[in-house]
Amino acid sequence: MSARLALVAWVLASAAWAQDAGVEEVEVVDIDDVTTGYTPPEEQSHEALRFTGYVDVGFAKATGDGTSWVDSDTRVPLDYGADPFATAVNSRGEVASNDADGRFTNGFLPRSVGIGGNASFLINTASVDVRFQPRGLPIFVFARAQLMPRLLPTGDQTRLELQQAFGRLSPFASQELAFFLGKFDSVFGIEYLENEANFRVGVTPSLIARYTTGHGLGAKVFYRFQLPSVMSAISVNAALTNNGTRIEALVPPDASVMGVPVASARIGYELNLKDVQAKAGFSGLYGPRNDQRTTGARQMAFGADVRLNWGGLSLAGELLQLVDEQGTLQGKTTGQGPAELASGFNVFGLWGRVAYTLPWKTSVLTGVTLYGRYDRRQALFQGYTWVTTQRFTVGGRVDLFELVALKAEGVFNAEMAGAPNVDNDVFTASVVFTW
Amino acid sequence: MRFQAIAVLVALSGCAEPEGLEAKVWTVEDFLRLAPEGQDLGGFRADQLVVLEGQPIPFRSRPYAASDVLQGPGYGLTPFPAFADGQPASFTVTEIWFAHPTPWIQPGYVMASRLTPEPTPLGGLNIFPVGVEATFYSPFWQLFYALAPDAGQDEFRSATAVLGAHLPLQRASLVYCPLAPADGGVAAPAGVDAGPTHPWLLVDDVGGDGGWPQAARPMPMATSWVDGTRVPYFRGGVDRIEGVDQLPVEHPLYTFAVAASDGGRALLPIPAVLPEEPFRSSFVRRTDVLVGASSAVFVPPDRPELIALLRGMGVKVACPQLDESTARLRLGAVIDQASCVRGRPTVSGCVDNEPDGGGDDGGVLDPIGGCEFLDSAAAVRGVNSSRIIPTETTLAIGVTQVGRELGP
């Protein structure tokens, strides 16, 4: 696969590569994977200090009031009997609204862009990366800061987030072995590879992304062992972090609340043929839940993922089973403030996506991709009813100059059981300028 | 042996509060499960809270009575003796929370064929959204009439179905309905289904007919739908709490205690004091009141085991001879200043304010007539505030009787 393929093909491939490399897309600069990877221009790779980034400008409109709440629902807490993450409008998984209208919620909420049911332009993310890699040394330093301008009913709630900041040591030039220390991407599953809007094929994350795509603060190790005789490789990506793999809105990573790290890991297999690339992996997570000051309640998760790339066709899917034991103390820490109690929780979810990149391009039009995704999620807070939801997402992406991505999609949510039907579909579009 | 068992029970029930602040919730189902172990639940022993069939009913048996009274068929919620505004009262406990946030008021739904001019229920079961396993379970429900004129009686069986149908809702009553296993009631012996629930009062004391013992069953059981499943519950009554912003208003339940040797407090097995408006105060916080050195507990002289039990806990006991009816009404009441007690006791070890060589108590017409009792919330609030100690334990209680008034 050439490095000059259409951008979306590059996105898919490089994302896949990056995951198996256990690092982010930024690390293509120091390992040249001719089978899958994107190789930056030679002159860039020689620069020790570089700045890159992107701006994601969105336009979204949700049906209803932008939430997944039913007006007459006074059950307590409100966020246990519906899926507040359904009305996602951007790559961050932020929803059109999570305004509970004064009703009690218990910290199971996504972040919101506060547009309710109105159509609105948004700056989803303005992201700046800085990386430093001195030539000839096995050290790599990376930081990513992101600005999210938000106007909520409570006023200006613009956030600046240090999403990643880590140092990496690759001690052996001949081995794909790297140690990370700092704040980095999740190691669980594959969807975290598309956390950033410029790398995500579509606009919105899946219904289970909230559990697997969070950033962790701690230590991580990646090792990949090549089996050239069978055109295969096996990789291991393991981390010890403060928080596990949930997004920061649910479980923030920046401090260990209970003093004991959470272990997470993925073991992957990849088959790299000339025209076909197949990958599969299993992920696991175990440790105390990081929202209570006690180690008495654990979190556990298991996941499996698979990907297949054949020409312009890309198939991907992931499933997840996660269990939280009931917290023993009063109070719960979330990224959006304290909540009252940490309930026992169980979730099973999956998603599957098919994407096809049309086999033609010009110097201007560098890629056209159509995609569809199916999500399903079954979740249960202890003592409540199983909430089963599903979602169909269809959309298209057009890449220009390999620098601009125009994306538009429809998100069609359905409450199958346990949650009242509500009008909560979303049309959302995103233009991502990469620099 | 029985006396020793009670002594152990009391000592354990009053042990120091659990260390740390693990949030706990116990429901009637838990009481029943933990009763055989006699587990401490926020200062109350599980086997005091409920009584199993054939077991002695607490406070109605020894040492409070000459013999044991056994629970009839099914299990019973123990009617605890209490005082409210100076009158004898009784209550049952259905939920205990320890180190727990205030429980929220959940909605409940009553299907109706019309809402105007008056709501007309379809006659089906109440629909509650959560069961006792839920973290935010609460026995307090804000009912709503849900208009479904063409629905079958039990066509709707879950809150999700009601909400998902987007039915018109009309606010109805605020009710106290603890979910609980079937075959329960207020503890009573076999064959007794009416009368006072206070364990020491006779039917005559509340103006009725018949003889002792009889008990009311003011918390009958009914059945609800919880997520499609039939779940029994106690019909605890309407407007038993005040709700503000979906939270029940909390009141103190004054429980008397003494300092224990382990640094904690030991609850005394005597009547508590209910808040003002007890029938509207079903959400209470256990608030310990330390019995002072100059205080005493009134116990009639014909309860020697109870006198010994209290004295063994380091409490002064006043045991002058009173007429039987007055004695029943005052049993277990705390006299704030024991110096008011007149007459020479007939039981050794009781408060004796008479000078040596004085006459016996037979000559005193009203030996406690000049005494002030801590038998109302107002009276308790009058003691030194350092003796009043709110705890981490809150309770849902069903007040079943106040004075001559049986529970609504």
- DSSP output for A56-96: EEEEEEESTTSSS--TT---SSGGGSS-TTTTB-STT--BS
Please judge whether B104 and A419 are an interchain contact, meaning their C-beta atoms are less than 8 angstroms apart: no
Q: Is residue A13 scored above 70 in pLDDT?
A: no
Q: Is residue A28 scored above 70 in pLDDT?
A: no
Closest to A76 (Cβ–Cβ): which among B106, B131, B166? B106
Question: Distance between terminal CA atoms of chain A?
Answer: 23
B19 touches chain A (CB under 8 A): no
Distance between CA atoms of B187 and B77, rounded to whole angstroms?
A: 5
Mean pLDDT across chain B:
88
Residue B275, classed as helix, strand or coil, is coil
Closest to B163 (Cβ–Cβ): which among A73, A344, A417? A73
| Average pLDDT, integer, range A195-206 | 97
A420 touches chain B (CB under 8 A): yes
Give the confidence band of B323 by pLDDT, cuts at 50, 70, 90.
Answer: confident
Residue A349 near residue A356 (C-beta atoms within 8 A): no
Higher-pLDDT residue of A320 and B151 is: A320
Which pLDDT belongs to residue B207?
Answer: 60
Min mean pLDDT across A39-43, A108-112, A160-164, B37-41 is at A39-43
Closest to A104 (Cβ–Cβ): which among B134, B164, B246? B246
Taking only the tens place, the pLDDT of each residue in B337-346 is 989 988 778 7
Which pLDDT belongs to residue A296?
Answer: 83
Which pLDDT belongs to residue A15?
Answer: 44
Residue B209, classed as helix, strand or coil, is coil
Which whole-number Å values give the CA distances from A315 to A200, A307, A358, B112, in the listed order?
14, 6, 15, 51
Mean pLDDT across chain A:
90
Phi-psi region of B270 (alpha: psi -120 to 50; beta: other; left: phi over 0): beta
Q: Is residue A79 scored above 60 in pLDDT?
A: yes
Closest to B101 (Cβ–Cβ): which among A327, A341, A419? A341
Q: Is residue A9 scored above 60 in pLDDT?
A: no
Q: Is residue B93 scored above 70 in pLDDT?
A: yes
Give the single-character DSSP code of B22.
Answer: B
Sequential DSSP letters for A314-365 = EEEEEEEEEEEPPP-BEEEEETTEEEEE---EEEEEEEEEEEEE-S---SSE
Q: Is residue A62 scored above 90 in pLDDT?
A: yes
Query: What values do phi and psi take at A45, rounded to 5?
Result: -65, -15
| Average pLDDT, integer, range B312-323 | 91
Residue B297, classed as helix, strand or coil, is strand
Please judge whether B133 and A382 are an interchain contact, meaning their C-beta atoms are less than 8 angstroms apart: yes
Distance between CA atoms of B369 and A422, rounded to whole angstroms?
A: 68
Which pLDDT belongs to residue B3?
Answer: 41
Residue A380: closest C-alpha in chain B: B134
Which pLDDT belongs to residue B15?
Answer: 42
| Average pLDDT, integer, range A288-296 | 85
Look at strands A404-417 and A426-434 and give their pairing: antiparallel
Q: Is residue A16 scored above 60 in pLDDT?
A: no
Q: Is residue B360 scored above 80 in pLDDT?
A: no
Count of beta carbons in the 10 Å neighbourhood of residue A100: 16
Give the single-character DSSP code of B393.
Answer: E
Taking only the tens place, the pLDDT of each residue in B197-248 is 888 877 666 665 544 444 566 789 999 999 999 999 999 999 999 999 999 9
Kindly report the nearest CA distance between residue A384 and chain B, in angstroms: 6
Which pLDDT belongs to residue A34?
Answer: 32
Q: Is residue A342 scored above 90 in pLDDT?
A: yes
Q: Is residue A133 scored above 80 in pLDDT?
A: yes
Residue A74: closest C-alpha in chain B: B107
Kindly report the nearest CA distance between residue A73 and chain B, in angstroms: 7
ipTM of the complex: 0.86
B90 touches chain A (CB under 8 A): no
Residue B21: closest C-alpha in chain A: A329
Instruction: Spell out the residues 6+ positions from residue B348 whose beta carbon is closer than 8 angstroms to its own.
Output: none
| Torsion from C-alpha of A122, A126, A127, A130, nearest 10 degrees | 180
Give the confidence band of A292 by pLDDT, cuts at 50, 70, 90.
Answer: confident
Give the confidence band of A207 by pLDDT, cuts at 50, 70, 90.
Answer: very high
Q: Whole-model pTM?
A: 0.88
| Average pLDDT, integer, range A271-290 | 96
Q: Is residue A43 scored above 70 in pLDDT?
A: no
Distance between CA atoms of B405 and B399, rounded to whole angstroms?
A: 11
Which whole-number Å values give the CA distances from A64 to A87, A116, B87, B299, in the listed order?
10, 8, 56, 67
Kindly report the nearest CA distance between residue A278 and chain B, in angstroms: 42
Give the single-character DSSP code of B10.
Answer: H
Which pLDDT belongs to residue A26?
Answer: 37
Residue B377 near residue B285 (C-beta atoms within 8 A): no
| Percent of chain A's residues with pLDDT above 90 | 84
Higher-pLDDT residue of B406 and B366 is: B366
